[in-house]
Amino acid sequence: MRGKSYLWSTCLITALLGGSITSASHVAAQDYPTRPIRLVVPFPAGGGVDLVARVLAKSVIDQTGWNIVVDNRQGVGGALGVEIVARSAPDGYTMVLGQTSNLALAPALLPKLGYDPQKDLQPVSLVSSGPLILITPKGSRFKSMADVIAIAKAEPGKVLIGSPGNGTLGHLAGELIKQTVGIQLEHVPYRGAAQGVLDVLGGRLELFIPTVPAALTHIRSGRLQAIATLSRQRHADLPDTPSIAEAALGDLEAINWSGVLVPAGTPKPAVAALSRAVSRALTNPEVRSKFAAEGVSPQASSPQEFAALIGQEIARWGKVVKASGIKMQ
């Protein structure tokens, strides 16, 4: 009898404890967050990435009442801010707005990268995406991708193609074009897109690969020609510009995407709460309007979908870097 009583008591305690644990988890999920959440932006204030982050943060605040503080931590091409978050406490109160450059390109380009995007970070949700674009001067001999390929093959190594800088997505997109269609193009790195666009406007450079916003005004005015957007679909702001897929070159897609991540090991309830908040925030018409001004579209996802994209992009761009022999310090 005593044994049965002891067993019954043990079961009762276990049940009560289990109920308490479940209840505690439920309360923790409901109470989160209880203090400000820091959103690290790995680029300077005032730039396109910063704008996307602040528009997102405002929309989340408006819809949830949470306190989100944007913290700009630029350096090492955006890798410094990501590393800060990767090394932060996994408590759900520090997140980063990462991009193609510091999540998919950096692992192959930077041998001393201080984090592994797939091991040290937990994806929360995609936030935005926007394609790069191939531009040329008004009246250029390049009217289409077919012209680029034909002329480059006829003049191997003599056709110049510019990018916003060594190791940028624009640089690697040019390398991807070369490798995929088997042509030789001479890369010309700039310090950002502005000077490169000016050189195309002045006829000093025939080909350049910036983001859409960097060239949009000049394309609309007719001062620049857009050969193709490096995406599978046409860009909403450039309905007359063909996509790279329309030239049967869909593998040349180069998308500048961004998304929210937290340190690996962050509690699942916090990750889920953040993912839901980001997804809801991105449905805000004001977000769509302000993102469009930066040439990007809202692009929500589940944590699993974002993780899969990061893995695919690391593998794809890693092959491009290896084949090109590009080395960065």
What domains are defined for the chain?
Answer: 34-129+256-324 (3.40.190.150), 133-252 (3.40.190.10)
Q: Is the pTM of this model over 0.95?
A: no
Confidence class for position 64, pLDDT limits 50, 70, 90: very high
Q: Kindly state the percentage of the chain with pLDDT values over 70.
A: 91
Predicted pLDDT at 280: 97
Mean pLDDT of the chain: 90
Encoding tokens for residue 215?
A: 């060239």
Is the per-residue pLDDT at 109 higher than 50? yes
Q: Are 226 and 239 in contact (CB under 8 A)?
A: no
Predicted pLDDT at 247: 87
Q: Which residues contact 121 (CB under 8 A, 6 or more apart)?
A: 82, 85, 86, 96, 98, 103, 115, 261, 262, 263, 264
pLDDT tens-digit series, residues 254-300: 999 999 999 999 999 999 999 999 999 999 999 999 998 888 899 99
Predicted pLDDT at 9: 39
